[in-house]
Amino acid sequence: MSEIHRRQFIKSGLLAGGAALGLTSWARAFGPILGVQRKKLEMTIIRRQPDVAPDRLGFSEKGLANLTQVFEDMLREGLHPGAQLAVYRDGELAISLAGGVAAPGGNPVTETTLFQIRSVTKALTALVMLTLYDRGRFSFEDPVIKYWPEFGQNGKEAITIAQIMSHRAGIPDGPQISTAQMADRKAVAAAVEAMKPIWTPGAANGYHAATYGWVLDELVFRLTGANVADFLKKEILEPLGFKDVFLGLPQEEFPRMAKMTVETGVRGRQDLRARFSDFMNTYQAVSLPLAWVCGVATAEGLANVMNLLAFEGTFGLKKFFSKQTQELAGKPTNKAGEMDRLLLWPVRWGLGFILGDTPDIYGTPPHPKALGHAGGGAGVAWGDPERRLAVAFNCNRMLGGTEVWERYRRIGDGIYAALK
């Protein structure tokens, strides 16, 4: 790779560690009444890119400048206190951006700041499943009870691994696991075994926010003797030399992790979700190897992992799964435009991944071969083998409504528009 240049741009304007509180609009509305002074603060945007990235990697310089402006605009608008963006093309870093703060009033974000990736973790778990499938350890159409007999209770006997991975198993809510029990694999397994589907398995998609990870982690343990976190580290991350991607964060890395803020409206409407988000800001939480939510990474590290999808299972001269296996994972399990029962959005699900013809997720569709995942408030990551493109966008504010989809779309549109 050619030399990577790191440049800092000091931007003056309305940005705050409190940008996550909507400082600009808040001060404009109430400042005259409360005597609040709108203070001009400085923003640092760090931009890293190879000196020949635009030409050799197929980007336009103007397009990358526009993408940088989109990134900065989102920070100034208060969509999140801090963020990172990393884009790889043909396996090389094309551009890396970092800016804002790790928490309101906190340290500036750099390219080495760790972010919680929340449900983007599910894509990492899916990579583990694809690797095991390619090794012949299971078939996606196998019933879960083939490897976990105790799972087959209360109408779950026929649920397949594919139905778990495509959020079609009918067990989207729960089980209710206390924070004290989350590290107890046997207690979690017993709680999952007691669950009862709330719709006929296979009849519809509905986001299995937690059970996706609980079930797959137990399956991986029964197949290999290791949980998803250990398999990911030893069989994928370490062989490739990937750094700054963790599932189960070491204590010494915790000080450089950004904290997640929660939009006021979300805290008012979804108190349980907000309180769980607050828990996730603690070391107790992110030290857990939860295969559905506890990933922590830099954007550069996470995007590098997405190169496995950009190169269809073979990267760094190492093969983890075949092109055919990735194509199987990218086959839609529901109809275009069909609403996810939990997310209330027309998510197009494959096996463990959100597909590229989902509205807004990786920019304006179609990106028919793109595979990845989003995380509640924490950003989005994907790989696109047609463009040999790998992307990770990290941020630290949980939004409600359709704002989160708009955030994804703006990033994705900016990236694809920068390609020649």
- Residues 287-322: tens digit of each pLDDT: 999 999 999 999 999 999 999 999 999 999 999 999
Do 250 and 325 fall into the same domain? Answer: yes
Do 201 and 251 fall into the same domain? Answer: no
* Domain end residue (candidates: 174, 206, 238): 206
pLDDT for the residue 176? 84
Residue 68 lies inside a defined structural domain of this protein: yes
**DSSP one-letter code for 170:** S
Distance CA 194, CA 303 (A): 37
> Per-residue pLDDT for 14 more than 70?
no
Which residue type is seen at 311?
F
| pLDDT tier, 34 (very low <50, low <70, confident <90, very high otherwise) | very low
* Domain end residue (candidates: 206, 221, 256): 206
* Domain end residue (candidates: 172, 206, 240): 206
Sign of the torsion formed by the C-alpha atoms of 67, 71, 77 and 80: positive
Do 186 and 296 fall into the same domain? Answer: no
Do 289 and 406 fall into the same domain? Answer: yes
> Per-residue pLDDT for 19 more than 80?
no
> Per-residue pLDDT for 399 more than 50?
yes
Do 200 and 245 fall into the same domain? Answer: no
Range of the domain at 175: 137-206
Q: Which helix (H) or strand (E) holds 164?
A: helix 161-165
280 or 37, which is more confident: 280
Residue 213 lies inside a defined structural domain of this protein: no
Beta carbons of 113 and 120 less than 8 angstroms apart: no
pLDDT for the residue 138? 98
Number of domains in the chain: 2
> Per-residue pLDDT for 250 more than 70?
yes
Do 160 and 250 fall into the same domain? Answer: no
Distance CA 70, CA 296 (A): 24
Mean pLDDT of 380-385: 98
| pLDDT tier, 44 (very low <50, low <70, confident <90, very high otherwise) | confident
Residue 192 lies inside a defined structural domain of this protein: yes
Phi, psi of 88 (to 5 degrees): -110, 145
Residue 48 lies inside a defined structural domain of this protein: yes
Do 162 and 41 fall into the same domain? Answer: no
pLDDT for the residue 116? 98
Distance CA 389, CA 121 (A): 19
Residue 217 lies inside a defined structural domain of this protein: no
Assigned token pair, 132: 């095991």
> Per-residue pLDDT for 163 more than 60?
yes
Do 149 and 255 fall into the same domain? Answer: no
* Residue 84, SS3 per DSSP: strand
Do 24 and 149 fall into the same domain? Answer: no
Residue 109 lies inside a defined structural domain of this protein: yes
| pLDDT tier, 42 (very low <50, low <70, confident <90, very high otherwise) | low
pLDDT single digits (tens) 53-95: 678 899 999 999 999 999 999 999 999 999 999 999 999 999 9
Do 122 and 263 fall into the same domain? Answer: yes
Residue 243 lies inside a defined structural domain of this protein: yes
pLDDT single digits (tens) 257-297: 999 999 998 998 999 999 999 999 999 999 999 999 999 99
Output the domain CATH number for residue 389: 3.40.710.10
Do 334 and 356 fall into the same domain? Answer: yes
Do 72 and 155 fall into the same domain? Answer: no
Residue 218 lies inside a defined structural domain of this protein: no
> Per-residue pLDDT for 394 more than 90?
yes
Beta carbons of 205 and 167 less than 8 angstroms apart: yes
Beta carbons of 313 and 336 less than 8 angstroms apart: no
| pLDDT tier, 97 (very low <50, low <70, confident <90, very high otherwise) | very high
